[in-house]
Amino acid sequence: MVFQKPPDGGWGWVIVVVSFFTQFLCYGSPLAVGVLYLEWLDAFGEGKGKTAWVGSLANGIGLLASPVCSICVSSFGARPVAIFSGFMVAGGLMMSSFAPNIYFLYISYGIVVGLGCGLLYTATVTITCHYFDKRRGLALGLISTGSSVGLFIYAALQRELIDLYGLDGCLLIVGALSLNILACGSLMRPLESSYAPPLEKTCVDKVPDQYFVYHEKEKTVEENISILEKGYVDEKCANNTPDYKQDSILNKNVLSSINVNEKDTYKKKVVEQTNFCKQLAKRKWQLYLNYWEETVVLFKNKVFAALFVAILLFDIGVFPPSLLMEDVARSANINEDDYRMPLISIIGIMTAVGKLTLGTLADFEWVNTLYLYVTTLLMTGVALFAIPFAKSYLTLAMLSGILGFLTGNWSIFPYVTTKTVGIEKLTHAYGILMFFAGLGNSLGPPIVGWFYDWTQEYDTAFYFSGFCVLLGGFLLLLAALPCWNACTNQSSKLPPNTYSYKVASSA
């Protein structure tokens, strides 16, 4: 497939709009799952740690499966994947309304909805990158705010739907709203060139012609015999001299020579096919070896190794507030009449502001994106340490806004990765980092919930979360300060990738 030059406009803005609404519709409920979390606690009576697995799986499974998601989009295209994933998200939400226990929710809401969101994220980012080049940063920033706006609106929407129709009715309605993803996906027209050169032969087409000689012989044996017989009979009729003995000898010689040729061709075909399969397996094995060799080279970069630890610890510590902040307020005995806005909604809208602000700062030449990212990590750790001291709605709302703004550092994470490993290694490195980010998202809320089940209060849990984020920030700072220039210079000299996952979200 040959693509046109990215138009940086035109139908691309339609792609931006539908990608924005796609992320809005698919991530709205999983990111605002804290509202549903309270209802599931009351409905199933399970511990906070066990119940928290539902939301953590929904938000982490898409990142864990990012290599698989990118392979699906690369193989089938953004539009088919988006439409199929829309059915997954809507079906998972509707199935969750009939959940008899928490284990059913692990599958329906955690895995089905989470995997659908991961596929949709990869599809929206991929199709946007195809349509934009010079304005790619702006386009990606706009569509990424869709999930944050979805968190802001869905937190209040789900609470209102629960009050009116109950938990089951809320999930059914939210699932029905998610079907609008199908309409958005249908507008994700692939960017193809009007002129496509002749396609290169595939591996099967490149098989030597000798492989198919045997089958051609089979189809033409009878034709050859009939032609020979016909010519010989015509010649006899012309001479009017019948010679049955000579006719029999000739037919016998023809058949025997054809059978010998068929056997030789068949044996040659088997040998060549065997050699072809061996060469293909050897080539694939070499690609896998190259991939793992490049992975080892990446981890020899001290800054990348520290970045891998930092993103894992960051997601373990920072994701629980977005899931558990409503329960923190309830545990602090804050009067519901004091609620002017759900705390999760505040986190969502400030995350959108943080993405745009930090992304804009990263474009300035005088800003070192790595130091900017480390600063957000350290400030996030301090904010998490302050949560146990917040005993009113106002202080919790302020901390929620600060945490939401700092969580917007996701918008500068690709910049940090690029500066650390170089543009040639970006897709490879970003796929690894996103896997561990998903692992942190999946583990963070259950760990905090287990701390509550153990101590019956959230203070120790958030001290632990703050310690994780601060530890990751300090490790990254220590790795960056003495050898930042050395690491970037070394990464720029690395040979280009010979094999990598095509992780679309790295663009």
pLDDT tens column, 97-145: 999 999 999 999 999 999 999 899 888 887 887 787 777 667 777 888 8
Provide mean pLDDT across the span 368-377: 88
**Contact of 461 with 302, CB cutoff 8 Å:** no
Radius of gyration of the chain (CA): 31
Pure H helices in 240-342: 244-299, 302-331
Residues in CB range of 439: below 8 A, 6 or more apart: 60, 63, 64, 312, 315
Task: Say yes or no to pLDDT of 55 above 90.
Answer: no
CA angle (408, 410, 413) in 5-degree steps: 135
CA atoms within a 13 Å half-sphere pointing along the CA-CB vector of 452: 23
Length of the chain counted residue by residue: 507
Q: How far apart are CA 416 and CA 199, in angstroms?
A: 38
Least confident of 256-270, 297-311, 460-474: 256-270
**Contact of 318 with 125, CB cutoff 8 Å:** no
Task: Say yes or no to pLDDT of 275 above 90.
Answer: no
Other Cβ atoms within 10 Å of 336 Cβ, number: 8
Residues in CB range of 496: below 8 A, 6 or more apart: 424
Record the tokens describing residue 462, joined without a space: 């958030």
DSSP, collapsed to helix, strand or coil, labels residue 448 as: helix
Q: What is the pLDDT of residue 213?
A: 41
pLDDT one-digit tens code per residue, 5-37:
777 778 888 998 999 999 999 998 898 888 898
Query: Between 300 and 185, where is the model more confident?
Result: 185
Q: How far apart are CA 379 and CA 247, in angstroms?
A: 99
Query: Between 294 and 454, where is the model more confident?
Result: 454
Instruction: Report the largest interatomic distance among the alpha carbons of the chain, rounded to a whole angstrom.
Output: 119
Q: What is the pLDDT of residue 379?
A: 94
Could you report how far apart the first and last alpha carbons of the chain are, in Å?
19
Q: How far apart are CA 409 and CA 314, in angstroms?
A: 11
Q: How far apart are CA 63 and CA 146, in angstroms?
A: 17
Provide mean pLDDT across the span 300-316: 85
Query: Between 133 and 494, where is the model more confident?
Result: 133
Q: Which of 73, 75, 117, 67 is CA-nearest to residue 92?
A: 117
> Would you say the C-alpha torsion 457, 459, 460, 465 has a positive or negative sign?
positive
> What CATH architecture is 7-194?
Up-down Bundle (1.20)
Q: How far apart are CA 103 and CA 88, in angstroms?
A: 18
Residues in CB range of 107: below 8 A, 6 or more apart: none
Q: How far apart are CA 324 and CA 239, in angstroms?
A: 103
CA angle (448, 451, 456) in 5-degree steps: 120
DSSP, collapsed to helix, strand or coil, labels residue 203 as: coil
Other Cβ atoms within 10 Å of 359 Cβ, number: 21
33 φ, ψ to 5°?
-70, -15
Burial class (CB in 10 A: 0-12, 13-18, 19+), 59: buried
Place of tokens 């929904």: 58
Burial class (CB in 10 A: 0-12, 13-18, 19+), 23: buried
Query: Between 264 and 389, where is the model more confident?
Result: 389
Q: Which of 436, 197, 180 is CA-nearest to residue 315?
A: 436
CATH 1.20.1250.20 domain span(s) along the chain: 7-194, 301-483
- Confidence label for 212 from pLDDT (cuts 50, 70 and 90): very low
| CATH, range 301-483 | 1.20.1250.20
Task: Say yes or no to pLDDT of 374 above 70.
Answer: yes
Least confident of 2-6, 34-38, 502-506: 502-506
Other Cβ atoms within 10 Å of 474 Cβ, number: 16
